[in-house]
Chain A
């Protein structure tokens, strides 16, 4: 009458009913708690009813293979799983990356171990069991291992390229590429070559590459990259007519610039105009939100190279010393376009109007209104 499954479910239903009763009697009943508990009672009693009715979905003549014999083979996955838990614990008190490694290890162990254990119950033939394990897991293992391998190669190699100067980098690139293709050619010309030799070459190459990568990381990036990374665009303020390589770094601040255009600014026939989605016609002023990154596209449709410059008022840099706050796009040629991201924290009422203008082009500007 009472199948094992329904006994278990009856117990849960009973417990939830008791906890509901206790909650109503002893705890100050809040609507939310009461609804949650009565919901639990309703849900479990429904499942209990179904289980009772269908007798756990039990079919009397269902059978398992008589050939199934427990023959567990040694496995490294419990060990990996345990290491994963250790990493998880260490990760919670140190850095998140360790925690992530722990999760990955546990997840891998979970999948691999489950499939292995399952495959070992499939038949009494260990070779057959191993083959079905591979059939299921290889399509997952190979791409993941390949991706990890490629990532390691790219990461190590890129560290080397960041550390060496531009000319040496080109030479290293050519030499490495040549060596790879020559070695590959030699191997393919001699198919009789022992697997061991090829393996040794691959291991030596991998260790060499990773070693070079680690060494390069120790050396650090080359001088000009360090300077570029530290460079503060606002300190340079090279937003005039000169050709400079400085430009708006804020552009990358937004998640997805293309889906958040506040305005499109065009330079045509020496005239600066603005277009705003939802407003018909060309504008000479745009409204952007206060304290929020706003994206502006600048299109140069005039002959010659121009940049768009945003004049964002003044700020005090020392007692009584005011400095103009500006940002700009790069110089762009006819037909090109660039992004500018403005974050203005003070409303327009705070003094001089904010404007967009083109250095070297007099009398053309777009007013930026911040409510």
Chain B
């Protein structure tokens, strides 16, 4: 590559960078395919915030322009040309009082509406469903306490994708097992911190079936940027089907299949961290995982129904191939539920990322999972370590994980 070529490339990159930056800023305000856009509320809580913030944004914008213009005007008009200092307005009580009262009034009006919205959003009395949301480095766990009205006879536990019924006032009870995280699905509500030792509540409700993306918004360490989540809203009937599937008992793979061999590998390698409800050892005793002994936060995702989700590892990776994912995301709200509930089967499985994860998880997502550097956490991992599995073990594990619908 000649220098001229190279320079040309740099200039091109520069131009696209500058244009790109300006363009992004400009277009962000009107993007349609922006899943985390706060300007596109998809439920009553987010709608309330939107109704408040738009006029405030407009007023602030107008004032901002006025101030900027006044500053530039003064700079140009009164720049130092050796002229005498112009007349000063200091010591003009009428002017000073006016200039204090006008902003105070504006802020008071904004304050009244803000407080009203804040109190509105904090209302919890008419909650229809509660879900415990627990943050940890770097994924979210959801557990659904028993709730007969929705057919949840046994508590359900899942991670990465929060599944809710549409038109239902859902209260998230948030906390954290390690550091402070913050839960934010922009389309459904504002953000709320998940603080260890505390329980904070966050109400969400979705109008339409669909997937609503979000991410952790409180810096929480190495993979903070990879700590994402998605809320999946299903129609009431579809939600009932989802619940029924989550409550389905464990079905062991048939004897002498690849999946059965995978189950054995799983028992040896994975169950010290990951719980699979209903999984038993050869002698019939239930397998109880011990993430509290192996992981710093005390938890690892429950994999009982892994293939019912579309993402994994804190929603950082898709569990389905891009085509299958587009198919689900882009489908009409009538067909969306059925497509989501179909879960992940072999043709749709994102083999590359899942295998990559099993081969060397810390290489896929930065985590404190180097066994040599665990002194600070008393030998416990923050994340999933590289287990040094052979390719044939990975083959078997993938076959087994595919049975965890």
Residues of A at under 8 Å CB distance from B? 21, 24-25, 29, 31, 34-35, 38, 50, 53-55, 58-60, 253-257, 259-262, 276-279, 285-287, 289-293, 345-347, 349-350, 369, 371
Please tell me which one of the listed residues B79, B175, B278, B302 contacts residue A292 in the complex, with CB atoms under 8 A apart.
B175
A-contacting residues, B297-324, CB 8 Å: 297-299, 302
Which segment, of B41-49, B100-108, B196-204, faces chain A?
A: B196-204
With contacts A287-B155, A345-B298, A369-B155 taken as known, whether A261 is within 8 angstroms of B145 at the C-beta atoms is no
Instruction: Tell me, in angstroms, the Cα distance from A259 to B299 when the chains sit together.
Output: 23
Please tell me which one of the listed residues B13, B144, B298 contacts residue A29 in the complex, with CB atoms under 8 A apart.
B13
Whether the pair B75, A291 counts as a contact (CB closer than 8 A) is no
- Residues in B neighbouring A262, C-beta threshold 8 A: 199
- Residues in A neighbouring B297, C-beta threshold 8 A: 291
User: Closest residue to A367 on the B side, CB-wise?
Assistant: B146
With contacts A24-B10, A24-B13, A278-B173 taken as known, whether A350 is within 8 angstroms of B146 at the C-beta atoms is no
- Residues in B neighbouring A289, C-beta threshold 8 A: 132, 134, 141, 143, 175, 177
24 A–B contacts from the bound complex (CB under 8 Å)? A29-B13, A34-B17, A254-B198, A255-B195, A256-B198, A257-B197, A259-B200, A260-B197, A262-B199, A277-B201, A278-B124, A278-B171, A287-B143, A287-B146, A289-B134, A289-B143, A291-B292, A292-B175, A293-B197, A347-B277, A349-B277, A371-B155, A371-B157, A371-B302
User: With contacts A276-B130, A292-B134 known, what are 5 further pairs, Cβ within 8 A?
Assistant: A24-B13, A34-B17, A259-B200, A277-B199, A292-B175
Please tell me which one of the listed residues A278, A285, A347, A369 contacts residue B127 in the complex, with CB atoms under 8 A apart.
A278
Q: How far is the CB of B122 from chain A (nearest CB, A)?
A: 12
Which segment, of B261-269, B283-291, B331-339, B349-357, faces chain A?
A: B283-291
Q: How far is the CB of B67 from chain A (nearest CB, A)?
A: 16
Whether the pair B201, A278 counts as a contact (CB closer than 8 A) is yes
Whether the pair B201, A347 counts as a contact (CB closer than 8 A) is no
With contacts A289-B134, A291-B298, A350-B286 taken as known, whether A369 is within 8 angstroms of B199 at the C-beta atoms is no
Q: How far is the CB of B16 from chain A (nearest CB, A)?
A: 11
Instruction: For the complex of A and B, list the 5 residue pairs with the smallest distance between their C-beta atoms, beginning with the closest.
Output: A291-B298, A287-B145, A255-B197, A371-B155, A345-B292
- Residues in A neighbouring B277, C-beta threshold 8 A: 347, 349
Cβ of B21 within 8 Å of any chain A Cβ, yes or no, is yes
Whether the pair B80, A25 counts as a contact (CB closer than 8 A) is no
Whether the pair B286, A53 counts as a contact (CB closer than 8 A) is no
Q: How far is the CB of B266 from chain A (nearest CB, A)?
A: 17
Instruction: Tell me, in angstroms, the Cα distance from A312 to B21 when the chains sit together.
Output: 57
Whether the pair B173, A277 counts as a contact (CB closer than 8 A) is yes
Instruction: Tell me, in angstroms, the Cα distance from A31 to B18 when the chains sit together.
Output: 11
A-contacting residues, B5-20, CB 8 Å: 6, 10, 13-14, 17-18
Residues of B at under 8 Å CB distance from A? 6, 10, 13-14, 17-18, 21, 75, 79-80, 82, 85, 124, 127, 130, 132, 134, 141, 143-147, 155-157, 171, 173, 175, 177, 195-201, 275, 277-278, 286, 288, 290-292, 297-299, 302
- Residues in B neighbouring A279, C-beta threshold 8 A: 127, 130, 145, 147
Instruction: Tell me, in angstroms, the Cα distance from A179 to B278 when the chains sit together.
Output: 73
Q: How far is the CB of B74 from chain A (nearest CB, A)?
A: 11
- Residues in B neighbouring A60, C-beta threshold 8 A: 82
With contacts A349-B286, A371-B157 taken as known, whether A290 is within 8 angstroms of B10 at the C-beta atoms is no
Whether the pair A285, B146 counts as a contact (CB closer than 8 A) is yes
Instruction: Tell me, in angstroms, the Cα distance from A59 to B198 when the chains sit together.
Output: 56
Whether the pair A58, B80 counts as a contact (CB closer than 8 A) is yes
With contacts A289-B132, A346-B288 taken as known, whether A35 is within 8 angstroms of B21 at the C-beta atoms is yes
Whether the pair A347, B130 counts as a contact (CB closer than 8 A) is no
Whether the pair A292, B146 counts as a contact (CB closer than 8 A) is no
Instruction: Tell me, in angstroms, the Cα distance from A254 to B127 when the chains sit together.
Output: 27
Whether the pair B173, A290 counts as a contact (CB closer than 8 A) is no
With contacts A278-B171, A287-B155, A347-B275 taken as known, whether A261 is within 8 angstroms of B199 at the C-beta atoms is yes
Instruction: Tell me, in angstroms, the Cα distance from A290 to B301 when the chains sit together.
Output: 12
Instruction: Tell me, in angstroms, the Cα distance from A196 to B127 when the chains sit together.
Output: 72
User: Closest residue to A257 on the B side, CB-wise?
Assistant: B197
Instruction: Tell me, in angstroms, the Cα distance from A236 to B19 when the chains sit together.
Output: 71
- Residues in A neighbouring B6, C-beta threshold 8 A: 25
Instruction: Tell me, in angstroms, the Cα distance from A371 to B196 when the chains sit together.
Output: 19
Whether the pair A38, B80 counts as a contact (CB closer than 8 A) is no
Instruction: Tell me, in angstroms, the Cα distance from A55 to B80 when the chains sit together.
Output: 7
Instruction: Tell me, in angstroms, the Cα distance from A151 to B201 when the chains sit together.
Output: 40
Whether the pair B75, A292 counts as a contact (CB closer than 8 A) is no
Please tell me which one of the listed residues A29, A254, A345 contacts residue B290 in the complex, with CB atoms under 8 A apart.
A345
With contacts A25-B6, A347-B275 taken as known, whether A260 is within 8 angstroms of B175 at the C-beta atoms is yes
User: Closest residue to B176 on the A side, CB-wise?
Assistant: A292
- Residues in B neighbouring A253, C-beta threshold 8 A: 197
Q: How far is the CB of A301 from chain B (nearest CB, A)?
A: 23
Instruction: Tell me, in angstroms, the Cα distance from A259 to B14 when the chains sit together.
Output: 51
- Residues in A neighbouring B124, C-beta threshold 8 A: 277-278
Whether the pair A347, B288 counts as a contact (CB closer than 8 A) is yes
Instruction: Tell me, in angstroms, the Cα distance from A38 to B18 when the chains sit together.
Output: 9
Please tell me which one of the listed residues B82, B146, B291 contacts residue A369 in the complex, with CB atoms under 8 A apart.
B146
Whether the pair A255, B291 counts as a contact (CB closer than 8 A) is no
With contacts A262-B199, A278-B127 taken as known, whether A53 is within 8 angstroms of B298 at the C-beta atoms is no
Instruction: Tell me, in angstroms, the Cα distance from A289 to B290 when the chains sit together.
Output: 14
With contacts A279-B145, A369-B155 taken as known, whether A260 is within 8 angstroms of B199 at the C-beta atoms is yes
Whether the pair B288, A350 counts as a contact (CB closer than 8 A) is yes
Whether the pair A292, B298 counts as a contact (CB closer than 8 A) is yes
Instruction: Tell me, in angstroms, the Cα distance from A21 to B66 when the chains sit together.
Output: 36
Q: How far is the CB of A48 from chain B (nearest CB, A)?
A: 14
Whether the pair B299, A371 counts as a contact (CB closer than 8 A) is no
Q: Which of A25, A59, A292 has the most CB of B within 10 A?
A: A292
User: Closest residue to A280 on the B side, CB-wise?
Assistant: B127
User: Closest residue to B142 on the A side, CB-wise?
Assistant: A371
Whether the pair A291, B196 counts as a contact (CB closer than 8 A) is no
Q: How far is the CB of A269 from chain B (nearest CB, A)?
A: 25
User: Closest residue to A56 on the B side, CB-wise?
Assistant: B80
Instruction: Tell me, in angstroms, the Cα distance from A346 to B278 when the chains sit together.
Output: 14
Instruction: Tell me, in angstroms, the Cα distance from A24 to B15 when the chains sit together.
Output: 12
- Residues in A neighbouring B143, C-beta threshold 8 A: 287, 289, 371
Q: Which of B127, B146, B157 has the most CB of A within 10 A?
A: B146
With contacts A54-B75, A58-B80, A289-B134 taken as known, whether A256 is within 8 angstroms of B197 at the C-beta atoms is yes
Instruction: Tell me, in angstroms, the Cα distance from A29 to B9 when the chains sit together.
Output: 12
Q: How far is the CB of A131 from chain B (nearest CB, A)?
A: 29
